[in-house]
Chains A and B, each alone.
Chain A
Amino acid sequence: MSALVKLEDVSKRYGDAIALCPTNLSVQSSKTTVLIGPSGCGKSTLLRLIIRLIEPDSGSIELDGKAATADNINVLRRRIGYVIQEGGLFPHLTARANVLLMARHIGKTEEEMHNRLLELSELTRLSQNLLSRYPVELSGGQRQRVSLMRALMLSPELLLLDEPLGALDPLVRASLQKDLKEIFTRLGQTVLFVTHDLAEAIYFAHEIVLMNEGRIVQKGTITDLREKPADSFVSEFINAQRGVASV
């Protein structure tokens, strides 16, 4: 199995507060890797480091064997899709304009954009006539579907999802979970997914990465975590959400 993203000894601190201890991580191609852990454990920091919203204090981050430099940073970013909990849709643009923003910026033809838009709305099950609406006119679930379309528009090699379903009500969340998983499978997409919900992690993950206090505690399948916990924190974390996880 090949690693699309490789982090070596990457660390980040804000003043005296350690956000991420020196960490190594590989994200396997065409697999969904789920980062899970309590709030403030460093999982979002890790994502933000990969898309270079923040710069690491030490270590190297490579996408497909290439490290980010000042020159190629924006080209690299376009090979990564990024969806956040709040959606991050620009309020002054329609859903369509949000999705097409980057494609327009880099000069894709109208025909290419039109075709890709059709594919994506079918893939994300978002009705075409919703695309002319502004973000405030859409429901939370619809907004996240648009946000996903925007992230997938340029067919990125890597998709980063930072608690994309965290703000949705349970019914919408369940239906989006199902659709998302289908989409990942259909596209053979490499995904790095952040959540604090164990059930969601189990549902999506080929590999679960459990983090606590800025470091990776254990990597593996849910069975590994359950049966061979690396330390007491792993058992506690699993047990705390067992009721849900066993459903």
Chain B
Amino acid sequence: MNRNRKSGKQEGLGSRNHESRRLKRFRRFLVCRFPDFLLFSCVPAFLFASSAAADVVVGSKKFTESYVLGEIANRTLTDAGIRAEHRQGMGGTIILWEALKGGQIDAYPEYTGTIATEILKSDPSLSFDQIQHSLEKLGVGMTAPLGFNNTYALVMRRSEAQRLGIRTISDLQGHPELKFGLTHEFLERQDGWRPLRQRYALPQQNIIGIDHALGYSALASGSIDVKDAYSTDAKIEQNDLFVLEDDLHFFPKYEAVFLFRPSTRADAVAALRHLEGTLDETRMIRLNAEAERTKNYARAADLYFEGSPRSNALDDSFPRKLARWTLRHLQLAGFSLVLSIIFGIPLGILASRGGAIGHVILGFVGVVQTIPSLALLALLVPLPFFGISVRTAIAALFLYGLLPIVRNTATGLQDIPRSLRESAVALGLSPMARLWKIYLPIASRSILSGIKTSAVINIGTATLAALIGAGGLGEPIISGLNLNDHVTILEGAIPAAVLALLVQWCFDLVDRVLIPKGLRL
């Protein structure tokens, strides 16, 4: 249901109802002059069959256990005859929560402690019933606990802990020189670093924020001494880490549950409820370890169903995945580029006239470019129209693509010699005819090089779209980063680089068609 409504909206984005006549003229110009414009062909395909076909969409957070739980839910739903889709590693708590409320996903795995503090902004000591009651009021359903408690923990290298004689978190008080590397989420959480430090009166000053998966490497190499972890984290076993005892009982319970929308089909909710009480800590650690060992979440999820590996979980061969990632990547970059062209060229023309408007336009696109891409995505996500969706990724890429096009259009026009401008005026051409027949063609080389720059930047930046579940070649990069697996990272990084080169090469061909011959001699 929700899926259909959503894909309908995306179609609306692609339609050109809101374009002014002038923009249409630009589009006509582009269409008739780019008959085989590679990226344009992506636009009609800009509806995604995969998500439109699923009845229930399961989301997951960006860490191994969440991926595995998402896969387990996906498999359970599929086995119950429900068309399900798993959107892996969409982001942190707030992103998943907003996506659930916004209807972009129907269910995702969450932890009771997180719900109490982060979502309900309440006391971590809330009882399970109190949490369930509060969620009901917010219009969200919750299953009973799945069976394991994945609380936060602080971990150290076992050898180091033994050498210093540290066993509990309180023991850290005597070692102010220790370096802490904490995840960004833990640093900011209500039940995270700040109250923990207060409670235990920790003296350490050397605290850095670091990605969860990278933090393990940093810990192993000795760049940091203490990091936050989850109690079911497979890395604890693998890396021979020591879990410091929470002797003051600071960390609340983090019982795993599934959150779901009440509008979710009853049979789907029933299927999710079948998972209640079926996963204890030992089992979860084993699944997590399997996921990290095989780099395959679906196979780890299969372990849960014991000995009945699902045939279609593995038939997603690399070429097919690559094709899917690449197609989505081209859709993201292509559609946003088309938008950048449609808006960038008119803005560039306005900016070329200078004055206050020109300064405002160039100032605006310049400032947008200075916002870190990750921050821009994060800023767009809470806005009503955007949320966790492809729209958000395209909007961000579109904004990034503007600067090169606007600036090159403006300078290309400003660089036209005065003698040529005056000749066009003196001939008696109307202002529009001057622009279309004289100024734009003469500035075409500069404008096209702006478009080319924008396209290449877009191909690179589009890898970040995977952070908000928009897919593309960023998907393997982020999974790989999460698993600390270089091969998976390269599966996304190499095609993205090749794509950028191909796009550059295609535009060199387009130059030969679009730049008037007289300017190329």
Question: Interface of A with B (CB < 8 Å)?
Answer: 48, 51, 53, 74-78, 80, 82, 84, 86, 88-94, 101-102, 105, 134-137, 150
By a CB distance below 8 angstroms, the chain A residues around B375 are none
Bound Cα distance from A92 to B412, whole angstroms: 14
By a CB distance below 8 angstroms, the chain B residues around A93 are 516, 518
Pairwise interchain contact B428-A86, C-beta atoms closer than 8 A: no
Pairwise interchain contact B426-A91, C-beta atoms closer than 8 A: no
Question: Interface of B with A (CB < 8 Å)?
Answer: 417, 419-420, 422-430, 433, 437-438, 441-442, 444, 516-519, 521
Pairwise interchain contact A84-B521, C-beta atoms closer than 8 A: no
By a CB distance below 8 angstroms, the chain A residues around B518 are 90-94, 134-136
Pairwise interchain contact B517-A105, C-beta atoms closer than 8 A: no
Pairwise interchain contact A84-B519, C-beta atoms closer than 8 A: no
Q: A82-B423, A105-B433, A134-B517 are in contact. Are A90 and B442 (CB under 8 A)?
A: yes
Pairwise interchain contact B428-A92, C-beta atoms closer than 8 A: no
* Ranked 7 nearest A-B pairs via Cβ: A88-B423, A77-B428, A92-B516, A134-B518, A78-B428, A82-B426, A74-B428
By a CB distance below 8 angstroms, the chain A residues around B425 are 53, 77
Pairwise interchain contact A77-B521, C-beta atoms closer than 8 A: no
Task: Tell which of B422, B437, B444, B517 touches A88, judged by Cβ atoms closer than 8 Å.
Answer: B422
Q: A77-B427, A78-B428, A105-B429 are in contact. Are A91 and B422 (CB under 8 A)?
A: no
B490: min CB distance to chain A, Å = 44
Bound Cα distance from A137 to B441, whole angstroms: 18
Pairwise interchain contact B428-A84, C-beta atoms closer than 8 A: no
Pairwise interchain contact B519-A92, C-beta atoms closer than 8 A: yes
Task: Tell which of A78, A88, A102, A134 touches B521, judged by Cβ atoms closer than 8 Å.
Answer: A134
Bound Cα distance from A82 to B420, whole angstroms: 12
A137: min CB distance to chain B, Å = 7
By a CB distance below 8 angstroms, the chain A residues around B419 are 84, 86, 88
A-B contact count (CB 8 A): 68
Excluding A77-B428, A82-B423, 14 further A-B contacts by CB distance (< 8 Å) are A48-B422, A53-B425, A74-B428, A86-B417, A88-B422, A89-B423, A90-B423, A90-B518, A91-B519, A92-B444, A93-B518, A94-B518, A101-B429, A102-B428
Bound Cα distance from A17 to B426, whole angstroms: 24
22 interchain pairs, CB-CB under 8 A? A51-B426, A53-B422, A74-B428, A74-B429, A74-B430, A75-B428, A82-B423, A82-B426, A82-B427, A89-B423, A90-B423, A91-B518, A92-B441, A92-B442, A92-B516, A92-B517, A93-B516, A93-B518, A101-B437, A102-B427, A136-B521, A137-B521
By a CB distance below 8 angstroms, the chain B residues around A75 are 428
Bound Cα distance from A80 to B423, whole angstroms: 12
Bound Cα distance from A94 to B437, whole angstroms: 13
Bound Cα distance from A69 to B321, whole angstroms: 66
B215: min CB distance to chain A, Å = 57
The interface centre, meaning the residue of A76, A80, A90, A94 with most chain B CB atoms within 10 A of its CB, is: A90
Bound Cα distance from A92 to B437, whole angstroms: 10
Q: Which residue of A lies closest to B438 (CB)?
A: A90
Bound Cα distance from A13 to B460, whole angstroms: 53
By a CB distance below 8 angstroms, the chain B residues around A82 are 423, 426-427
A206: min CB distance to chain B, Å = 24
By a CB distance below 8 angstroms, the chain A residues around B427 are 77-78, 82, 101-102, 150
A11: min CB distance to chain B, Å = 21
A67: min CB distance to chain B, Å = 16
Pairwise interchain contact B437-A53, C-beta atoms closer than 8 A: no
Bound Cα distance from A91 to B521, whole angstroms: 10
Q: Which residue of B lies closest to A77 (CB)?
A: B428
By a CB distance below 8 angstroms, the chain B residues around A90 are 420, 423-424, 438, 442, 518
Q: Which residue of B lies closest to A136 (CB)?
A: B521
The interface centre, meaning the residue of B419, B426, B429, B444 with most chain A CB atoms within 10 A of its CB, is: B426
Bound Cα distance from A136 to B442, whole angstroms: 14
A94: min CB distance to chain B, Å = 7
Q: Which residue of A lies closest to B430 (CB)?
A: A74
By a CB distance below 8 angstroms, the chain B residues around A101 are 427, 429, 437
The interface centre, meaning the residue of A91, A105, A137 with most chain B CB atoms within 10 A of its CB, is: A91
Q: Which residue of A lies closest to B444 (CB)?
A: A92
Q: Which residue of B lies closest to A47 (CB)?
A: B426
The interface centre, meaning the residue of B423, B429, B441, B517 with most chain A CB atoms within 10 A of its CB, is: B423
By a CB distance below 8 angstroms, the chain B residues around A136 are 518, 521
Bound Cα distance from A114 to B426, whole angstroms: 23
By a CB distance below 8 angstroms, the chain B residues around A135 are 518
Bound Cα distance from A134 to B517, whole angstroms: 8
Bound Cα distance from A106 to B519, whole angstroms: 26
Bound Cα distance from A86 to B419, whole angstroms: 7
By a CB distance below 8 angstroms, the chain A residues around B521 are 134, 136-137
Q: Which residue of B lies closest to A86 (CB)?
A: B419
Q: Which residue of A lies closest to B433 (CB)?
A: A105
Q: Which residue of B lies closest to A48 (CB)?
A: B422
Bound Cα distance from A75 to B430, whole angstroms: 10
Bound Cα distance from A86 to B418, whole angstroms: 11
Q: Which residue of A lies closest to B445 (CB)?
A: A92
Pairwise interchain contact B428-A88, C-beta atoms closer than 8 A: no
By a CB distance below 8 angstroms, the chain A residues around B430 are 74
By a CB distance below 8 angstroms, the chain B residues around A77 are 425-428
Q: Which residue of A lies closest to B425 (CB)?
A: A53
Bound Cα distance from A135 to B441, whole angstroms: 15
Q: A90-B438, A92-B442, A101-B437 are in contact. Are A84 and B429 (CB under 8 A)?
A: no
Bound Cα distance from A74 to B521, whole angstroms: 32
By a CB distance below 8 angstroms, the chain B residues around A91 are 420, 442, 518-519
Q: Which residue of B lies closest to A53 (CB)?
A: B422
A46: min CB distance to chain B, Å = 14
By a CB distance below 8 angstroms, the chain B residues around A78 are 427-428
Q: Which residue of B lies closest to A85 (CB)?
A: B419
By a CB distance below 8 angstroms, the chain A residues around B437 are 101, 105
Bound Cα distance from A91 to B438, whole angstroms: 9
Q: Which residue of B lies closest to A75 (CB)?
A: B428
By a CB distance below 8 angstroms, the chain A residues around B441 are 92
Q: Which residue of A lies closest to B442 (CB)?
A: A92
Bound Cα distance from A152 to B65, whole angstroms: 80
